[in-house]
């Protein structure tokens, strides 16, 4: 059993797991953080961004240097790549994707690299995820594709990725993980054909994988339809826990019962902001927004189209009501805003009990449905989609992409960035906000950082592990030491005695799971024919020689047919015959008594040592040598005598 880690970012995981002849891919996260290295894609022509100065390593005027100058631009005191945005995808070169039997997806956050895995790679397997993960994941991919395609940049930058140049670059660029492996964005066609391979599963729905294993998704409490995976054979249980939340928000709470007492627990996707409390951050977010609005400023919230954004709508509208700011319009701009709002209404089964019970009334589960009806929350596909005729300030704008490298958010920063009355509030934990803002500097807009990451923090994770009691634990190497930026925060580690197994990108971990048993069924006919004998109080034993039928990796033992017995041969060429065993020590006296009963007379017993005896039957011309573990019948006479002796002897011994 082996685990290979393909992702450098434990919050966007991707693994290959080999177990019992089955190859799984666990999650397919896309490390979007890396796109911060690119210049933003403006929605409308942007004079500032198009006039940036190029960057070179030296003053020489070589052709190479001139090309590099085209690729790298200086902006806000940093260097950015000016070209087609490329994505850092999982490390697929160390594995043969055509051998992957199944991909298990935890939530919409960890599905985004799927088209890179399933398309043009020879992948033939099946992708499993829940229906909400599929639908919301599709919206995320659609949004990404739309943003990229809306502002096409054809220039692919490759010069800067050369090793000799990389090492000269500022650390912001030189620290990138294998930039030559980066891929351009997938297309809409890739998304559709990739997602066509998905088979949706419900929570606690067992799915059979080639008869060898069963997989089961159970609620992880992180987002609508998010799940942890339990992979079981008849004897072993492996749990994959990524993107779990023990907080109470809108999704169905985490279901811990199926994860308990596993042989192995693989843990990933812990919080990216261990120092802050998400509840406090939501509060701070609301307060900051309200203060800005009260002072007549505008609030910009870079966000993803789903997930925590639903909670932001709910909390902020409630807070504004209490501040008397109910009339402030909230705008939600995303190419998929229609869909994500519509989908949020129909996944009642995947929501918290409080949200679910609203549907029974019947009312929409989220309050944002009512905000839309009342016109307080207005949603548009993009800034050109009728927003102009309706736009009122001060207002709050929720829009993507939270990396600030693409989408309508780029336009709003350019528009509002010059005024210190406006505020930008970061809530997504995926991006270091200063890096995200770097190409917009200098900027007067007020900046608030209220990251809301509901994933397990280290305390919660350690508590969870204690409750789940796995035999072995595998975690990211980075979780076993305090974060690099906070070396003294020793509480930010996973505690496990004697130290967990660890993974990191490109490494293969051998997992200490040794299989000992497999399940086989005895047909009722075979079972009825068995004659077990008690060999110890409470324990019976019987020998079986049976025909083995293997179908779909399931084993069945059936009685050997009489035809098979007489004519067919074993694999090694020997004839198939049932075997029997004789065991026990022969009690000479009872054997002699039994012989007498059979009418055999003239029995002479001669002791030959410790346990040995020789029995003479002179009338029948027979000699029986008895040792503790063997009996030898030397019979010169009639066959009838021999069979009589044989049967009598067998009665005095145990037969299996």
Partner 1 sequence: MTEITVTPLGAGQDVGRSCILLSIGGKNIMLDCGMHMGYNDERRFPDFTYVTKEGRLTQHLDCVIISHFHLDHCGALPYMSEMVGYDGPIYMTHPTKAICPILLEDYRKITVERKGETNFFTSEMIKTCMKKVIAVNLHQTMQVDDEMEIKAYYAGHVLGAAMFHIKVGQQSVVYTGDYNMTPDRHLGAAWIDKCRPDLLITESTYATTIRDSKRCRERDFLKKVHNCVDKGGKVLIPVFALGRAQELCILLETYWDRMNLKVPVYFSLGLTEKANHYYKLFITWTSQKIKKTFVERNMFEFKHIKPFDRAYIDNPGPMVVFATPGMLHAGLSLQVFKRWAPNEKNMVIMPGYCVAGTVGHKILNGVRKLEMENKQMLDVKLAVEYMSFSAHADAKGIMQLISQCEPRNVLLVHGEAVKMEFLKTKIKQEFSIGCFMPANGETAVMETKHNIPVDISLSLLKRESAKVGLLPPDAKRPRVLHGALVMKGSKLQLIDAADALQDFGLAEHQLRFTSTLAFDEEGPTTETADKIYQLVKSQLKDFPTHYSSDGSITISDSVLVQVSGDEESKSVLVSWSYQDEDVGSYLLQLLKSELVT
- Tell which positions 224-263 bind partner 1, by CB under 8 A: 234-235
Rounded to a whole number of angstroms, the minimum distance from the CB of residue 536 to partner 1 is: 6
Which residues, 6 or more positions from 259, have their beta carbon under 8 angstroms from its beta carbon? 218, 228, 230, 239, 241, 265, 468
Binding residue for partner 1 (CB under 8 A) from 149, 518, 611, 647? 518
| Shortest distance in whole angstroms from residue 172 CB to partner 1 | 40
CA nearest neighbour of 495 among 469, 465, 472, 467: 465
> Is residue 120 near partner 1 by the rule CB under 8 A?
no
Residues facing 99 on adjacent strands: none
Scanning residues 386 to 445, which ones bind partner 1 (CB under 8 A)?
Answer: none
b vs e for 333-367, b when ≥16 Cβ sit within 10 Å of the residue's Cβ? bbbbbebbbebbeebeebbeeebeebbeeeebbbb
Instruction: Tell me if 166 contacts partner 1 by CB under 8 A.
Output: no
Q: Binding residues for partner 1, how many (CB under 8 A)?
A: 93
Q: Are 649 and 586 in contact (CB under 8 A)?
A: yes
Instruction: Record the tokens describing residue 481, joined without a space.
Output: 């030491």
Q: Which of residues 331-350 bind partner 1 (CB under 8 A)?
A: 338-339, 342-343, 345-349
* Least gap, CB of 373 to partner 1 (angstroms): 13
Tell me: does residue 537 bind partner 1 (CB under 8 A): no
Judged by CB under 8 A, does residue 519 bind partner 1?
A: yes
- Residue 55 tokens, joined: 């960057």
Of the pair 171, 581, the CB lying nearest partner 1 is at 581
Q: Which residue has the tokens 């033939």?
A: 124
Q: Which residues from 178-207 bind partner 1, rule CB under 8 A? A: 201-206
Look at the block and give the residue holding tokens 């199926």: 258
The answer to the question of residue 530 lying near partner 1 (CB under 8 A) is yes
Provide the minimum distance between the beta carbon of 148 and partner 1 in the complex, in angstroms, as a whole number: 22
Binding positions for partner 1, 552-611, rule CB under 8 A: 555-557, 560, 564, 568-577, 579-586
Torsions phi, psi for 326 (to 5 deg): -60, -20
Of the residues 527, 587, 598, 611, which one makes contact with partner 1 according to CB under 8 A = 527
> Which of 272/622 has CB closer to partner 1?
622
Handedness of CA 368, 371, 376, 377 (dihedral sign): positive
> Using the rule CB under 8 A, is 628 a contact of partner 1?
yes
Q: Which of 45, 61, 63, 362 binds partner 1 (CB under 8 A)?
A: 362
Interface residue with partner 1 among 260, 515, 604, 651 (CB under 8 A) is 515
Q: Is 630 in the site for partner 1 (CB under 8 A)?
A: yes
Of 84 and 576, nearer to partner 1 (C-beta) is 576
For position 540 contacting partner 1 by CB under 8 A, the verdict is yes
Q: Does 520 bind partner 1 (CB under 8 A)?
A: yes
Give the closest residue to 458 by CA, choosing from 446, 438, 434, 475.
475
Q: Are 447 and 423 in contact (CB under 8 A)?
A: yes
Q: For residue 173, give the 3-state DSSP assignment.
A: helix
Residue (92 or 511) nearer to partner 1, CB = 511
Interface residue with partner 1, options 77, 485, 517, 597 (CB under 8 A): 517
What is the sign, positive or negative, of the torsion defined by CA atoms of 543, 546, 550, 555?
negative
- Specify the stretch interacting with partner 1 by CB under 8 A; choose among 6-14, 31-39, 107-115, 526-534: 526-534
Q: How far is the CB of 16 from partner 1 (least distance, A)?
A: 23
Nearest to partner 1 of 47, 360 (CB atom): 360
126 vs 99, 198, 212, 216, 226, CA distance in Å? Answer: 11, 6, 15, 14, 18
Report d(CA 305, CA 144) in Å as an integer. 11
State the nearest-atom distance from the C-beta of 281 to partner 1, in Å.
31
- For residues 608 and 627, give the distance between their C-alpha atoms in angstroms, rounded to a whole number: 9
Coil, strand or helix: which one is 128? strand
- CB nearer to partner 1: pick between 491 and 521: 521
- Which one, 181 or 348, has the nearer CB to partner 1? 348
Considering only CA atoms, which of 485, 476, 523 is closest in space to residue 504?
476
Could you tell me which stretch among 311-319, 408-416, 423-431, 534-542 binds partner 1 (CB under 8 A)? 534-542
- Could you say which of 392, 418, 469, 646 contacts partner 1 (CB under 8 A)? 646
Is residue 525 within a helix (H) or strand (E), and if so which, with residue range? helix 524-529
């Amino acid at each position: 059993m082996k685990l290979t880690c393909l992702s450098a970012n434990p919050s966007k995981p991707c693994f290959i797991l080999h177990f019992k002849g089955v190859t799984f891919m666990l999650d397919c996260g896309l490390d979007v953080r890396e796109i911060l290295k690119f210049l933003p894609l403006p929605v409308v022509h942007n004079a500032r961004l198009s006039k940036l100065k190029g960057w070179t390593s030296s003053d020489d005027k070589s052709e190479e240097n001139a090309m590099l100058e085209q690729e790298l631009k200086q902006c806000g005191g940093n260097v950015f790549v000016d070209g087609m945005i490329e994505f850092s995808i999982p490390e697929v070169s160390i594995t043969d994707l055509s051998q992957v039997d199944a991909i298990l997806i935890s939530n919409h956050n960890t599905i985004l690299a799927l088209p890179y895995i399933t398309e043009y790679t020879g992948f033939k397997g099946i992708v499993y995820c829940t229906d909400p993960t599929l639908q919301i994941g599709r919206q995320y991919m659609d949004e990404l594709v739309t943003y990229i395609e809306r502002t096409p940049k054809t220039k692919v930058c490759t010069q800067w990725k050369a090793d000799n140049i990389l090492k000269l670059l500022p650390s912001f660029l030189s620290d990138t993980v294998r930039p030559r492996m980066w891929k351009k964005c997938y297309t809409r066609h890739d998304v559709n054909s990739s997602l066509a391979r998905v088979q949706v599963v419900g929570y606690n729905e067992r799915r059979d994988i080639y008869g060898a294993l069963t997989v089961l998704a159970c609620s992880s409490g992180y987002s609508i339809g998010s799940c942890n995976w339990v992979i079981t054979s008849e004897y072993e249980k492996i749990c994959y826990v990524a993107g779990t939340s023990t907080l109470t928000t809108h999704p169905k709470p985490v279901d811990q019962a199926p994860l308990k007492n596993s042989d192995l627990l693989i843990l990933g996707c812990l919080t990216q902001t261990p120092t802050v409390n998400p509840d406090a951050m939501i509060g701070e977010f609301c307060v900051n927004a309200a203060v800005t609005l009260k002072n007549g400023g505008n609030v910009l919230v870079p966000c993803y189209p789903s997930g925590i954004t639903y909670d932001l709508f709910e909390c902020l509208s409630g807070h504004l009501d209490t501040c008397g700011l109910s009339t402030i319009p909230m705008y939600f701009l995303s190419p998929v805003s229609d869909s994500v709002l519509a989908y949020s209404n129909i996944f009642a089964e995947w929501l918290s009990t409080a949200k679910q019970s609203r549907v029974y009334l019947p009312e929409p589960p989220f309050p944002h449905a009512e905000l839309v009806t009342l016109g307080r929350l207005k949603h548009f596909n993009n800034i050109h989609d009728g927003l102009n005729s309706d736009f009122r300030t001060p207002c709050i704008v929720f829009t993507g992409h939270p990396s600030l490298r693409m989408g309508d958010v780029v336009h709003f920063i350019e528009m509002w960035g010059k005024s210190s009355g406006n505020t930008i509030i970061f809530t997504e934990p995926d991006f270091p906000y200063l890096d995200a803002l770097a190409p917009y500097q200098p900027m007067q807009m007020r900046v608030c950082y209220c990251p809301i990451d509901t994933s397990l923090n280290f305390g919660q994770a350690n508590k969870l592990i204690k409750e789940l009691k796995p035999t072995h634990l595998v975690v990211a190497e980075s979780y076993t030491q305090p974060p690099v930026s906070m070396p003294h925060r020793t509480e930010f580690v996973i505690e496990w005695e004697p130290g967990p197994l660890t993974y990191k990108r490109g490494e293969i971990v051998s997992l200490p799971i040794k299989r000992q048993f497999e399940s086989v069924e005895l047909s009722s006919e075979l079972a009825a024919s068995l004659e077990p004998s008690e060999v110890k109080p409470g324990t019976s034993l019987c020998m079986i020689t049976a025909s083995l039928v293997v179908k779909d990796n399931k084993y069945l033992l059936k009685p050997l047919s009489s035809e098979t017995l007489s004519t067919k041969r074993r694999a090694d060429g020997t004839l198939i015959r049932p075997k029997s065993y004789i065991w026990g020590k022969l009690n000479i006296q009872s054997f002699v008594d039994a012989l007498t009963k059979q009418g055999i007379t003239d029995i002479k017993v001669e002791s030959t040592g410790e346990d040995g005896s020789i029995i003479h039957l002179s009338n029948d011309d027979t000699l029986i040598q008895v040792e503790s573990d063997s009996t030898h019948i030397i019979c010169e006479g009639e066959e009838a005598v021999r069979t009589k002796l044989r049967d009598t002897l067998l009665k005095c011994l145990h037969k299996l």
